[in-house]
């Protein structure tokens, strides 16, 4: 197949590598020559490392490299069978691009967006043939993260999502189906991991190191504050704000002022050398409190909110139970799927924990989902 990728930033470059690795010819397009040069140089470095580690032969690396063509001319997309767009996260810019693309590509060409937060239905509406448009949402870094969310728009033809699922499986990815709703699966269900941790911190219940340690006690590889520092506080805040407004200001998704201030200060996390933690080795990292009771209370509260969110998504038909669990384990490395975890803890216990939170706070944020009530 010939695959077109538009936008040669972090995501587009990674997706191009994935497609080429599976034997496809790839055209990678960007409006900026510097971005294409950077992408090409980045791939060369990656390939050298893969060959050094023995994960790829020199011959395979050379073939992979040769399969990717770089271009600033959108017309090069003409012969593609599938195009995946990974440009700036802006609805109007994406709509213009999709409308322009249709004038270049064949009738059969499938058009996909890698958007994290925009409506696939709105993007599809810019096309003459919206039935060929869908969301194919990779996770960062695309070559390493197995999960891909497939999101049909309202207008997408019935058979297209299944066809893309088979294709992505042949690329060694783990695809799940998600309804076209804000945050799809992962960016919706994961919100309490950050939001509830921030709330606990703001209430002064514990410091960041203790909250992180509490979640690691449960088997999470990173705590919420460590993960926000890795993702970037600006990026994480923008996703939260976008989900919050797209959900008509449902209090469960309310962004945190703490995170807003961190972003305003430029304390973005690892990439800026300072976030919740310091990354210039000048100060010793803060130590978590060795208080098992406190840590259990924190982890139980965050996990309960996550399970409530997952059961709400299940109730609202955002995805199947199986896909919800696959998404969280393969997209963000959760130690267990939340639907399964809820069953293990017992739904009645989860309901009781939600009821306790609600009775204490009397806030809509802590309402128990109908999905959890069974």
For the stretch 343-352, contacts whose Cβ atoms lie closer than 8 Å and that sit 24 or more positions apart, written own/partner, are: 345/303, 345/307, 347/311, 347/372, 347/374, 350/304, 350/307, 350/308, 350/311
Nearest residue (CB) to ligand NAI, 5 versus 64:
5
Query: Which of 19, 97 has the CB closer to ligand NAI?
Result: 97
Q: Where are the alpha helices (DSSP H) in the chain?
A: 10-21, 33-52, 58-67, 91-102, 120-124, 160-170, 186-189, 191-202, 208-217, 224-231, 233-246, 257-265, 292-315, 321-331, 338-345, 347-361, 370-373
| Cα–Cα distance list, 290 to 233, 259, 275, 296 (Å) | 27, 26, 23, 11
Instruction: Give min distance, CB of 32 to ligand NAI, in A.
Output: 4
Pairwise CA distance, residues 3 & 15, whole Å: 10
> How far apart are the C-alpha atoms of 84 and 346, rounded to whole Å?
41
Active-site pick, 8, 116, 119, 126: 116
- Toward ligand NAI, which CB reaches closer, 89 or 250? 89
The smaller minimum CB distance to ligand NAI, of residues 30 and 312, is found at 30
187 carries an active-site annotation: yes
Contact indicator for 134, 112 with CB cutoff of 8 Å: yes
Select the residue whose beta carbon is closest to ligand NAI and give its number. Answer: 9
Minimum distance, C-beta of residue 82 to ligand NAI, in the bound complex (Å): 16
Q: Which of residues 87 and 243 has its CB atom nearest to ligand NAI in the complex?
A: 87
Q: Least CB distance from residue 63 to ligand NAI, whole Å?
A: 25
Q: How far is the CB of 121 from ligand NAI (least distance, A)?
A: 16
Would residue 322 show up in a list of annotated catalytic residues for this protein? no
Say if CB 198 and CB 184 are below 8 A apart. Answer: no
116 annotated active-site? yes
* Residues near ligand NAI (CB under 6 A): 6-12, 30-32, 35, 86-89, 93, 97, 114-116, 138-140
Which of 13, 39, 126, 137 does the annotation list as catalytic?
A: 137
Whether residue 359 lies in the annotated active site: no
- Smallest gap from residue 44 Cβ to ligand NAI (A): 17
- Catalytic option among 149, 196, 226, 309: 149
Token duo for residue 289: 């409190």
Q: Any idea which residues carry the catalytic annotation?
A: 116, 137, 149, 187
């Amino acid at each position: 197949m010939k695959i077109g990728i538009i936008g040669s930033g972090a995501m587009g470059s990674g997706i191009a590598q994935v497609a080429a690795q599976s034997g496809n010819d790839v055209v990678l397009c960007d409006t900026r020559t510097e971005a294409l040069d950077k992408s090409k140089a980045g791939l060369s470095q990656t390939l050298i490392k893969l060959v050094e580690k023995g994960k790829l032969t020199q011959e395979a690396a050379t073939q992979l490299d040769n399969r990717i063509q770089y271009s600033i001319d959108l017309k090069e997309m003409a012969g593609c069978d599938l195009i995946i767009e990974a440009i700036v996260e802006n609805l109007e810019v994406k709509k213009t691009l999709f409308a322009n693309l249709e004038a270049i590509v064949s009738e059969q060409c499938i058009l996909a967006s890698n958007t994290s937060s925009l409506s696939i239905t709105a993007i599809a509406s810019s096309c003459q043939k919206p039935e060929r448009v869908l969301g194919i949402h990779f996770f960062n870094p695309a070559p390493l993260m197995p999960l891909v969310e497939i999101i049909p728009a309202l207008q997408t033809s019935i058979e297209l999502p299944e066809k893309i699922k088979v294709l992505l499986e042949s690329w060694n990815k783990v695809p799940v189906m998600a309804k076209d709703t804000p945050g799809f699966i992962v960016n919706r269900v994961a919100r309490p991991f950050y939001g509830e941790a921030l709330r606990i911190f703001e209430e002064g219940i514990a410091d960041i190191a203790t909250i992180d340690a509490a979640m690691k006690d449960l088997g999470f590889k990173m705590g919420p504050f460590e993960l926000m520092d890795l993702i970037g506080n600006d990026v994480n805040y923008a996703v939260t704000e976008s989900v919050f407004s797209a959900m008509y200001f449902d209090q469960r998704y309310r962004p945190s002022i703490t995170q807003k201030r961190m972003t305003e200060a430029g304390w973005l996390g690892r990439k800026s050398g300072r976030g919740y933690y310091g990354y210039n080795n000048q100060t010793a990292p803060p130590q978590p409190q060795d208080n098992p009771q406190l840590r259990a209370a924190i982890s139980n509260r965050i996990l309960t909110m996550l399970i409530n969110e997952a059961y709400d998504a299940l109730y609202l038909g955002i995805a199947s139970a199986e896909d919800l669990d696959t998404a969280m384990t393969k997209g963000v490395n959760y130690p267990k799927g939340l639907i399964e975890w809820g069953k293990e803890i017992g739904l009645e216990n989860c309901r009781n924990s939600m009821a306790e939170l609600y009775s204490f706070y009397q806030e809509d944020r802590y309402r128990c989902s109908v999905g959890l009530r069974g």
